[in-house]
Structure 1
Amino acid sequence: MNYHYRAYEHTDMLKVRQFLSEAYGRFKRPNSWLIARWEFEIFFFQLRAGTLQDWERNIGLWEDETGRLAAVASKDGDFYFQLDSENPPDSLTGEMFDYIEGKSAREPAEYCKLAIPNFMGNLERQALSRGYELLPDESDSAVSIMLDREFPVSLPEGFRLCSGEEVSNHAKALGHIMAFNYPGTKEAERMLQFYGGIREAPGYSPELDLALLNAQGEVVSFCNAFVDEANRIGMLEPVGTHPDYRKCGLGKAVIYEALKRLRSKGMVKAYTGPYQPFYERIGFTIEVELGVWRKKING
């Protein structure tokens, strides 16, 4: 089979989304990204902020002779290969390595970095042969939980659960800023200005966009869930809790409410990530780990 590269275009968004869903259907586990991460990257901030075109420049597509999508290279900090086979041909992945190394060489970055699933030994061996090294202190992962049981939700007094448009974009943006600890930054200013694009994502459901508010109406914990109906899986993205409100049951409560709603929609499993001890404590287990590999490109 011969494959040819072409640059990603904005109109390819749904084609890549479908490819990721079909790849999961073949693997029955995440290969790299699920559709939630794809939609989140596009719609959460970049579309409204006007930075989407810059992000899209780091996406490469490879198609077969029929035009069927066979592979995608994309970037979220590190590069990721989206593949539909555990043993793709070296000729294909070799072109993908050439692509990401070429992109990295044109940037001020010193290294080209790629996250590789630990079950893709051939890809790891190819990385080694090209001069990559595995970083011992960097990784990515996906954790999952089966939705074959009840998920009791217990809210502490003084907090209320809201969904969808019951909460303003401004309040949600503040909740995100505090949960991920970047108040007072330029990034925070831009988040307050541009938050809300996630509502435009194909997989967005208002009833799965959950937030817990305190008595002052501030978002102190949140969890949005996407659905891949073809594979009957849910994906939690984003998830966060204000540092001052952690370890009091709010994160567990909002996640369990999301899991309840996913289960009611017929989903059988839910994913999030990367791994955190908190996720393990509430029932998630690691399903896929990705090692981060790097190669010196510049300098």
Structure 2
Amino acid sequence: MSNLRPYRDVADFEAMKHLVTQAWAERGPHVECAVGDLTWRLLRNAQVRPEEDIALWERAPGHLAGFAWAYGNGDVDLLGHPLAQADAFARDVLSWVRARHATLWALESNGPLLEALQRLGCQRTPNGCYLHLALSLHARPPPPPPLPAGYQVRAVRGPEEVAARALVHRRGFGTERMTTQVYARLMEAPRYQPTLDLVAEAPDGSLAACALGWLDEANAVGEFEPTACVPEHRRRGLVRALLYEGLARMHGLGARQAIVYAFDGNPASVALYQSAGFSVVDRNLGHVVPIP
């Protein structure tokens, strides 16, 4: 009998956050996501349907030990904890993933889960991977590099700037999903911290780049998710300046480590994070699920 069930309500979301926090306490940064990712993934667009997109795996009723999260692009992220139950978790989740014709993702460092997926016939995809990059914040980060004349880095001013904040995201990513209404909802989330929602303001007063930070206080971990720059302002060091400012703020809030993700097929993104001091600590690997 499968221990997998659909996501139900906010109590499940709290249980997911608790599970991620526990996993980080034991094996961070070798965890598939950080606790801030959950809020971002849930609220980043109006198309997220958690009751359909998320499946929870329980060792016993009320004892969460893993979850699967499906996205509109055909990917499914897996997180199981503790790792000792990877075989049962993989076996139960596979049919749910197969029904969605999805690509499974699991960390390279998560040996028990990767081995379980391989025993079930899953094979690595040839289409790249997501790099997990980390940076120690035990020492205060160096000051940010100078900005081009007329630019400034600052936090979002508040709800009165929500439309401009949503616009810089849309323009930076070339997507229409981040509406003003969606970003307003995100700004009301309990884990959202205005002081870590950073933007670069252009000389004309428009927003040219953005970097949203999250903090896991229990594990003293800061995370950037996402970062972007609008096309006409690229190659001016704006996102790098935002990273430096964000790292200093995270350090001031008690973070002693920072993490960010980058697709290895985007070398410019990887180089940007490495230029700010991040180094690769793990890789999230895609797997094709076998057809029975």
When the two structures are superposed, what TM-score results if normalisation uses the length of structure 2?
Answer: 0.87
Distance 1:150 1:82, change over 3 A: same
- Distance (whole Å) between structure 2 residues aligned to residue 290 and residue 39 of structure 1: 20
Distance 1:39 1:194, change over 3 A: closer
**Identical-pair percentage:** 23
Please give the per-residue CA displacement for 1:163-207, whole angstroms capped at 9, x wherever unaligned: 23356122112211221134xxxx36x624533222122211111
Query: Residue 241 in 1 paired to residue 241 in 2?
Result: no
Q: In structure 2, what is the equivalent of residue 282 of structure 1?
A: 276
Q: In structure 1, what is the equivalent of residue 9 of structure 2?
A: 10
Distance 1:89 1:234, change over 3 A: closer
- Distance (whole Å) between structure 2 residues aligned to residue 121 and residue 226 of structure 1: 28
Q: What SS does the corresponding residue of 1:292 show, helix, strand or coil? A: strand
What is the count of residue pairs matched by the alignment?
A: 280
When the two structures are superposed, what TM-score results if normalisation uses the length of structure 1?
Answer: 0.85
Superposed CA RMSD? 2.2
Q: What SS does the corresponding residue of 1:124 show, helix, strand or coil? A: helix
Please give the per-residue CA displacement for 1:140-177, whole angstroms capped at 9, x wherever unaligned: 22211111233212332201233233561221122112
Q: What SS does the corresponding residue of 1:18 show, helix, strand or coil? A: helix
Question: 1:136 is aligned with what amino acid?
Answer: P
Q: In structure 2, what is the equivalent of residue 79 of structure 1?
A: 76
Partner of residue 59 from structure 1, selected from 30, 54, 59: 54
Answer whether contact 1:3 1:64 (CA < 8 A) is retained: no
Q: Which runs of 4+ in 1 moved over 4 A?
A: none
Gaps of 5+ in 1: 105-110
- Distance (whole Å) between structure 2 residues aligned to residue 131 and residue 157 of structure 1: 56
Answer whether contact 1:26 1:84 (CA < 8 A) is retained: no
Which structure 2 residues correspond to residues 70-149 of structure 1 after superposition, within 5 A? 70-76=65-71, 77=73, 78-102=75-99, 104=100, 111-147=101-137, 148-149=139-140
Which structure 2 residues correspond to residues 10-49 of structure 1 after superposition, within 5 A? 10-11=9-10, 12-46=12-46
- Distance (whole Å) between structure 1 residues aligned to residue 90 and residue 241 of structure 2: 42
Q: What SS does the corresponding residue of 1:13 show, helix, strand or coil? A: helix
Which structure 2 residues correspond to residues 210-225 of structure 1 after superposition, within 5 A? 210-225=198-213
Gaps of 5+ in 2: 264-269
Answer whether contact 2:29 2:134 (CA < 8 A) is retained: no
Answer whether contact 1:171 1:219 (CA < 8 A) is retained: yes
Q: What SS does the corresponding residue of 2:262 show, helix, strand or coil? A: coil
Answer whether contact 1:210 1:222 (CA < 8 A) is retained: yes
- C-alpha deviation, 1:264, in angstroms: 0.7
Q: In structure 2, what is the equivalent of residue 107 of structure 1?
A: none
